[in-house]
């Protein structure tokens, strides 16, 4: 049995009677897409502008560790740093 979430009162939790599911009941179950084909598949909404392009990039482990330690949004931070680099460096100069 699951633990009671703090936001649900003990009385409400105890009022719900959820007996174990029988093997017979479980054997009759089927995926929602089969039992209710009229339900549309969930799709992601349109992406906000500007559109980003998914890429695969290999980075040194120390670079990845440095940014991951900073928490959520670490990939965006890398993107921001690279964007700033582009603004401060002439792309037409010889390498």
pTM (2 d.p.):
0.47
CA atoms within 13 A on the CB side of 27: 3
All structural domains of the chain with their residue ranges: 49-89
* DSSP designation for 39: S
Token pair listed for 73: 């949004």
Per-residue pLDDT of the chain (95 residues; tens, 9 = 90+): 578 889 999 899 888 878 888 999 999 999 988 889 898 888 888 877 778 888 999 999 999 999 999 999 999 999 999 999 999 987 776 55
């Amino acid at each position: 049995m699951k633990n009671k979430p703090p936001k649900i009162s003990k009385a409400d939790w105890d009022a719900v009677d959820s007996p174990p599911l029988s093997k017979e009941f479980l054997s009759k179950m089927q995926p929602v897409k089969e039992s209710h084909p009229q339900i549309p598949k969930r799709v992601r909404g349109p992406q906000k502008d500007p559109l980003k392009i998914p890429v695969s990039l290999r980075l040194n482990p120390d670079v990845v560790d440095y940014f991951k330690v900073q928490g959520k949004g670490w990939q965006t931070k890398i993107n921001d740093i690279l964007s700033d680099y582009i603004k401060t460096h002439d792309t037409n100069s010889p390498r």
